[in-house]
Amino acid sequence: MAKIISRFAKSFFAVIAALFLLATVLFFHPPMRAYIDPWTGDVFGEGGVEQYFKAATPTEKVHSLNKGSVHGEVIMPKLGNATAKAALGRATWKLLHTMTLRYPETPSPDEREALDSYFHLLSRLYPCGECAAEFQQLLAKYPPQTSSRKAASLWLCDVHNKVNKRLGHAQFDCAHLDAEYDCGCGDEPIINTKEPDDMENELPPDADELTGVKMIKGGR
């Protein structure tokens, strides 16, 4: 009987010790609450996607979320109307050349990312599906150059000339792009920072206060 009690006591104390050890481990290291998204396969929780998003900057978060939508397959169907295709091409090249010619001389990382994303999104959403597929091939072989206005505009001109060569069209002179695609906009800032001049709104001393019209002087 004493042996049975002794054996039971040893087992009891062993269980207590094990529970104490487990409680200590759980106290100093909480259990991971991780799960796998069945649709994407991403691991959420400790050590998963959530940890990355806690450490990432807002720009990195947006880039991570949009990466899959920016780089993807062509969305639009084939455009069979040759006249519409040609008109669309001329309008698009004018837009793109004007955009790169007004692109900042020293762009920020965010501005560079925006221009790169724009070209890749265009290669998915361009209304002419077969044209978009060709543009995607060109982007893969000749990635967009976004380091400066000159780099972006000359890169686009080179890509345009590659398309012109395939179509049998004349080559553009990339040295005179600014003359070909001059929008006449200038480089004025978007926001007018000029402070109002109180003197501009001052009425003449002999003007009517209500209408601002100069009064007729009488005399002999």
pLDDT tens for residues 95-117? 999 999 999 999 999 999 999 99
Residue 36 DSSP SS3: strand
Q: How far apart are CA 139 and CA 150, in angstroms?
A: 18
Question: Are the C-beta atoms of 53 and 61 separated by less than 8 Å?
Answer: yes
What kind and span of H or E run contains 50?
Answer: helix 49-55
Q: Which two tokens stand for residue 127?
A: 């209304």
What kind and span of H or E run contains 141?
Answer: helix 129-141
pLDDT of res. 70:
87
The larger pLDDT score, comparing residue 112 to residue 193, is at 112
The larger pLDDT score, comparing residue 161 to residue 10, is at 161
pLDDT digit string (tens) for 12-48? Answer: 667 777 777 767 656 665 545 555 555 555 555 544 4
First to last CA, the chain: 142
Residue 200 has pLDDT above 50, yes or no: no
Q: How far is CA 135 from CA 89, 98, 163, in A?
A: 12, 18, 9
**Helix (DSSP H) and strand (DSSP E) numbers for the chain:** 8, 2
Q: CB within 8 A of 218, min separation 6: which ones?
A: none
Residue 59 has pLDDT above 60, yes or no: no
Q: How far apart are CA 195 and CA 169, in angstroms?
A: 50
Which residues partner with 207 through β-bridges? 214
The larger pLDDT score, comparing residue 162 to residue 196, is at 162
Residue 49 pLDDT grade (very low, low, confident, very high; cuts 50, 70, 90): very low
Domains, the chain, in order of start with CATH, read 35-70 (no CATH), 76-180 (1.20.120.310)
pLDDT of res. 65:
47
pLDDT digit string (tens) for 135-174? Answer: 999 999 999 999 999 999 999 999 999 999 999 999 989 9
DSSP 214: B
Claim: this prediction has a pTM higher than 0.85: no
